[in-house]
Structure 1
Amino acid sequence: MTGPETRPPIPACEDAAGAEAGYACPCCGDRLPAELVARILAGAGLPAQAGPGARPSGLPASGARFIDPHAHMISRTTDDYEAMARAGVVAVIEPAFWLGQPRTSVGSYRDYLSTITGFERFRAGQFGIRHYCTVGLNPKEANDPELAEAVMDILPAFALKDGVVALGELGYDEQTAAEDRCFRAQVELARSIGLPILIHTPHRDKTRGTLRTLDVLREHDVDPAHCVIDHLNEETVAAALDRGFWAAFSIYPGTKMGNERMTEIVRRFGPERLIVDSACDWGVSDPLAVPKTAALMAMRGIPEAAIRRVTYGNALTVYGLNGEMREEHWLDPDPIDQRLLFEGNSVLRGGQAARVDTPPPDPLVIR
C-alpha cells in the first residue's frame, strides 16, 4: 500500500506464509499470508487467484473493475499494464503533462501528444487495458512563452482526436502571470469544443492555488459537473465539493495522498463526486494504487457501492461526457492479438510468443 501513514497492525501479517501470497501488508510491508490475502481480495471484489504470477485473463471472475483516471503510462512498463489488468483495471486516462525536463520545441510536444493519442493507446490495448488521454499545455511549461504560444496553436487539432476525453492537466504551478494566461485560454478552448477539464492543483501553496483555480473557473462560467479538480487533500477537498466540482485524489507515496487518508475522506464526505487515481509516472509511484486503495477501503468497512463509485463509476461519468469513453469498450472488447502492428511496430521482440485471444463463437441462430 502507498502512503506514509501509521496504520493499525494486522496480527496475521507476520505469518511467513505470506511470502507465497505476493502482496505487501498495508501496515508493515511484510508479505501477507494467503488466507488473509483471499479475505482482502474478496472484500474488494477481486478474485483470489489474481496474484502476481497469474496471467491476465479478462475481467476478474467477481466482476470487480477499476478505472485509473490519471496515469502517465508513457513512463511505465508493459509489466505495469499486465499487473493492472490482473488487478481489475479496465481503463486508464493519461493526462498530458511534464516529462521531467523542459521540452525545447513545439515539435517535441507534437510528438509527445501523438504518442499518447496513438502508440500508447495501441500498447495498452495489447495488454487488455483501454487507454484514453487528455491533452493540454501543462502549467510548468506555460512559463516558456515561445513554446506555449506554439503549443496553443496545435492543441485544437489534438483535442478532437479519438480517445481524447478532456483538456488537461490545466492550472497553476508557481501561479505566475504566464500560467494564468495559458490556463484561461485553455479553459475557453475546452468550453468552445465541449470537452471536460482536468485541473492540476499546485504542489506548493496548494490551498491558495486551489482557491484561485476555482475562482478562475467560476469567472469563465465553467460547469462544475464538467470539471475534475485533482491532487486534492484534506485542506482543499471541501472547497471543490462545495462549489460542485468533481474532487480527485492522487494516491502517490509520501507526497499527495495516502490510501489510509483517502479511506477517511470517503468516510467523511461520502462517495459522491470523489475520484481516486494513482498519478503514476516516472517517479516513485504505484500503478496499482487504485485497486490497493479499494482493498484497504473494504478492510476498513467502506461499503462496496461507495468503493465502486470512487474507483470506477464517478470517473466513467465525468470522462464519458464527450462520448469517447464508454463502458462497452471493455465489457465487449476486441480480442487481444499481439501480432498486430502500430506503424510497423509490435509490442514484442524477436522470439517472444504473441498472446492471441480467441474470440467467442457467434451464437447459434436457428432460422
Structure 2
Amino acid sequence: MIIDTHAHLNAPQFDEDRQEVIERARASGIGRIINVGFNRETIPSSIALAEQYDFIYSTVGWHPTDAKDMTPEDLEWIESLCGHEKVVAIGEIGLDYYWDTSPKDVQDRVFRQQIQLARKVGLPIVIHNRDAHHDVVQTLREEKAAEVGGVMHCYSGSWETAKMCLDMNFYISFGGPVTFKNAKQPKEVLEKVPLDRLLIETDAPYLAPHPYRGKRNESSYVRLVAETAAEIKRISLEELCEITTANAIRLFGLA
C-alpha cells in the first residue's frame, strides 16, 4: 500500500470523473489519501470527500496566496473543524513569494496564527513554501512549530534548509517534480533525507510526474514518485512503500 500524503481531489479538474480517479487510485494500491482544504471554498468540499470515503482524510488551513481574505471568524471556523474525526492536520499553510496575491506581512500574520492554532489543538502542519525558504524556517522556529511538527509539502529547497526542517520535527515530502530528468537538486536532497522522515505525494491535479508532465495529475501516479524515490534510495519499491506508509501513519495519527 502507498499513501498519497497531499492531493486536491475536490478540485474542479476532477468534476467530470472524480469517482473514476479515486477508483484508479485504489486499484493502483493507494491505501489512503490526505486531501487538502486550504480556503473558504475547498475546506468544506475536502471534508465532504473525507466523509464519503473511509480511506480519504482531510486537512484544514488557509493558503498563503489567499491570506488577505482570511478573517478572524475564518480562523475560529478552522479551529472548530480540528476536532472532526477525519481532520488530521492544519494546512496547507506557509509563505508564497512567487504569486503576488497577498502582501508578505499579511501572509506572515496568517501563517503564525495557524502555527499557534496547531500548537493549541495538537495537530501537525502541512507547509507550503514557494521562494520563501529563509522566512519559512525562521517563522517555524520563532513559533515553536517543532512542538507539533509536520511536513514540508512538495519540497523544492536545498539540503541545508531541509536539515533545519528535519531538526524541527518535520518530514520532507516529494512529488512529481522529483521524477523530472532535470530535477538535480530534489534528487540530491531526497538521497540525503533519512528514510524515517520521507514522504511521497502527488499534489494532484498539479505537478504530474514524468511521463505525464504537463497533464492533469492524479493520486494513482504517486506510484511513479515511489519508484523514483526507491531508485534514488537504492531500496526496493516494496520497502520504500512500507517505510513511507508507516511515516505517514505516524505523522497524521492514522488508524
- TM-score if structure 1 supplies the norm length? 0.57
Q: 8 Å contact 1:68–1:311 — kept in the other structure? A: no
Q: 8 Å contact 1:277–1:290 — kept in the other structure? A: yes
Letter of the 2:9 partner, please give it: M
% identity of equivalent residues: 24
TM-fit CA distance, 1:299: 5.6
Aligned twin of 1:241: 166
Aligned twin of 1:231: 154
Q: Call closer, same or farther: CA 1:234–1:198 in 2, change over 3 Å.
A: closer
- 1:74-106 Cα offsets, whole Å, 9 max, x none, are 1232121111111100100111136xxxxxxxx
Q: Partners in 1 of 2:242 and 2:202 — Cα distance? A: 16
Between Structure 1 and Structure 2, the one with more helix by share is 2
Aligned twin of 2:5: 69
TM-fit CA distance, 1:117: 1.4
Aligned twin of 1:124: 53
The higher-RCO structure (CA 8 Å, 6+ apart) is 2
Q: Call closer, same or farther: CA 1:171–1:247 in 2, change over 3 Å.
A: same
Q: 8 Å contact 1:224–1:246 — kept in the other structure? A: no
Q: Name which one, 1 or 2, has greater alpha-carbon Rg.
A: 1
Aligned twin of 1:141: 66
Q: Call closer, same or farther: CA 1:288–1:221 in 2, change over 3 Å.
A: same
Q: Partners in 2 of 1:184 and 1:270 — Cα distance? A: 28
Aligned twin of 2:83: 160
Q: 8 Å contact 1:229–1:245 — kept in the other structure? A: yes
Q: Which of 17, 23, 27 is 1:86 aligned to?
A: 27
Q: Partners in 2 of 1:91 and 1:198 — Cα distance? A: 17
SS in 1 for 2:226: helix
Please tell me whether residue 186 in structure 1 is matched to residue 114 in structure 2. Answer: yes
Q: Partners in 2 of 1:122 and 1:244 — Cα distance? A: 29
Q: Partners in 2 of 1:141 and 1:148 — Cα distance? A: 11
Letter of the 1:68 partner, please give it: D
TM-fit CA distance, 1:189: 0.8
Q: Partners in 2 of 1:152 and 1:297 — Cα distance? A: 36
Q: 8 Å contact 2:146–2:168 — kept in the other structure? A: no
Q: 8 Å contact 1:81–1:124 — kept in the other structure? A: no
Matches within 5 A, 1:1-367: 65-75=1-11, 76=14, 77-97=18-38, 109=40, 112-118=42-48, 120-125=49-54, 130-144=55-69, 147-174=70-97, 176-202=104-130, 206=131, 209-223=132-146, 226-233=149-156, 235=158, 236-251=161-176, 256-258=177-179, 261=183, 265-281=189-205, 284-298=216-230, 302-304=234-236, 306-308=239-241, 311-320=244-253, 325-326=254-255
Q: Call closer, same or farther: CA 1:270–1:152 in 2, change over 3 Å.
A: closer
Q: Call closer, same or farther: CA 1:85–1:140 in 2, change over 3 Å.
A: same
- 1:196-253 Cα offsets, whole Å, 9 max, x none, are 1111112xxx2xx1221121111122226622121212524344235442111222xx
Q: Partners in 2 of 1:277 and 1:268 — Cα distance? A: 18
SS in 1 for 2:96: coil
Aligned twin of 2:100: none
Letter of the 2:127 partner, please give it: I
Q: Partners in 2 of 1:152 and 1:190 — Cα distance? A: 11
Q: Partners in 2 of 1:149 and 1:177 — Cα distance? A: 16
Q: Partners in 2 of 1:112 and 1:215 — Cα distance? A: 28
Q: Call closer, same or farther: CA 1:243–1:157 in 2, change over 3 Å.
A: closer
Q: Call closer, same or farther: CA 1:281–1:153 in 2, change over 3 Å.
A: same
Q: Partners in 1 of 2:79 and 2:164 — Cα distance? A: 30
Q: Call closer, same or farther: CA 1:281–1:91 in 2, change over 3 Å.
A: same
SS in 1 for 2:50: helix
Q: Partners in 1 of 2:30 and 2:157 — Cα distance? A: 26
SS in 2 for 1:150: helix
Q: Partners in 1 of 2:96 and 2:231 — Cα distance? A: 36
Unaligned 5+ segments in structure 2 are 98-102, 207-214
Tell which deviates more after alignment, 165-174 or 305-314: 305-314
CA RMSD of aligned residues (A): 2.6
Letter of the 1:294 partner, please give it: A
Q: Partners in 2 of 1:270 and 1:306 — Cα distance? A: 14
TM-fit CA distance, 1:136: 1.0
Unaligned 5+ segments in structure 1 are 1-64, 99-108, 327-367
Aligned twin of 1:3: none
